[in-house]
Structure 1
Amino acid sequence: MVKWKWLRGYLGIVLGTVITALALNMFLIPNKVAAGGTSGLATVLHHTFGLPVGLTMLAMDIPMFLLSIKLLGARFGVNTLLGAGVLALTIDLTAAYVPLLTRDLLLNSLYGGVLSGIGMGIVFKFKGTTAGTDLAAAIINKLTGISVGKALLSVDLFVIALAGVVFGSAELALYGIISLFITTQIIDLVQEGPSAAKAFFIMSRSSKEVADAIMDELGRGVTLLAGRGGYTQADGEIVFCVVSTREVSQIKELVYRIDRQAFVIVADAHEVLGEGFQSPR
């Protein structure tokens, strides 16, 4: 079982890197759209000096690979080597065979960003990385808790600006920002999943009645959290529960039927594991 889990992880990393390589070769590299990362730097060097993108990326990734072993452990280092190696080889081996679908910069930025985000999101989901600045983003995520997508965005903006200067085109830099933004959003979406449920925090003087009604009428479990009003200093209970999106209107109606003065917070719940929802993997 453990061996199958590891094998599935490695296959996931390979799949993600292949998708990322196709995105680079089909949409970004041929059109000089440098959407950050070592791929962006390698794209600049490729169009300036004719260097192969894949091998250039791999050469720049070696220091990040050594850092990953030190900070994130040996297994993460193996996953990094696998991701970076497969990405570099796939880029260089398929460059001559991947069709160029369009020269429209906006389309290339959009589709390149979406496909890259899907690929890198899969890699991150299986605890791997393709090294470079996305490895730096994974390290930032581990140390600070900032989402990988947002960390990647902040790190890569410098690369995009540099590419704009070298290519002498502010327009290409702007398209690179579009592609990078889309990539980061798709990475987070792939890792966290779409919002499949809603989390309710309900503050009511009739918390017991609200909780009982949710359990009896909707069949959903609730948790009563101890709370205290900051102004009144009055002790009370906060009703916390998670429901499916189709039950949102039902729970609102239920709460305000019991207490018209209730204070309700509704938040997205991207991945809910346990009774009544998705089973843990």
Structure 2
Amino acid sequence: MPTVTDPYTPGTPCWIDLMAPDQQAALDFYRDLFGWQGEVGPPETGGYAVCSLKGNPVAGIMAARNPDGSVPDPMPPTVWTTYLATTDVDATVNAATANGGQVIMPGMDVLTLGRMAVISDPTGAVFGLWQARDFPGAGIVNEPGAVIWNELNTRDPDTAASFYSRTLGLEAAPMEGAQGYYSLSANGRMVGGMQDLSTLEDAPPDTPSHWLPYFAVDDTDSTVAAHTRAGGNVLKPPFNMAAGRMSLLQDPQSAPFAIINTAQPA
């Protein structure tokens, strides 16, 4: 089991969470699709649900609510947020703004678990920052039902590469044989990818820059079939690519994500 025991290197994706209009429906959907276990949390956490896989934290799901508990109007987009590890949220927020980023949620303590912030990079992609204390982040990765990859999709890879390098020390490098695709490395280790949206023929021209999580699955086609039966939408049907067989999906509340089986023939 690929459990995580060491602290996440700064710049590494360490957690994801979802803000959904119907929290319980999201919990039920991902339980059935990936085998997650999770329930609405206590009031002091705003009901935040930490979902687990094989006893290890894998992702968070919360209800879309204003700080006072009211329902937002208009409702924000339903998306997965990728959190990047840092040893100092406030210093990283300052570096982000100095390099063209915008603060969506300033640094705040989350009980004794850690400190977080939410940032928009200069190309418009939103991501979180996580400074671990009692809670390091995902405790299981790279196996069916868990996150296996995090990808930045942007229309300005040069600007994005400069921002993440200056802000978090992430280094971008073109991936051989993949036009418009870059690796993202933290301290010399590849931890994610970056894709130029303008090179994708099937990406709508109004697609905003965004971070996209990939979940590992045992069988891409059967997972897509189960996803569809549960009311999800298929944005891109299963196809073979260099890393395996993948598909781009959208859950019943419109949150996009990708699935991939790296063991299936490419």
TM-score with structure 2 length normalisation? 0.26
Higher helix fraction: Structure 1 or Structure 2?
1
Higher strand fraction: Structure 1 or Structure 2?
2
TM-score with structure 1 length normalisation? 0.25
Pick the structure with greater CA Rg. 1
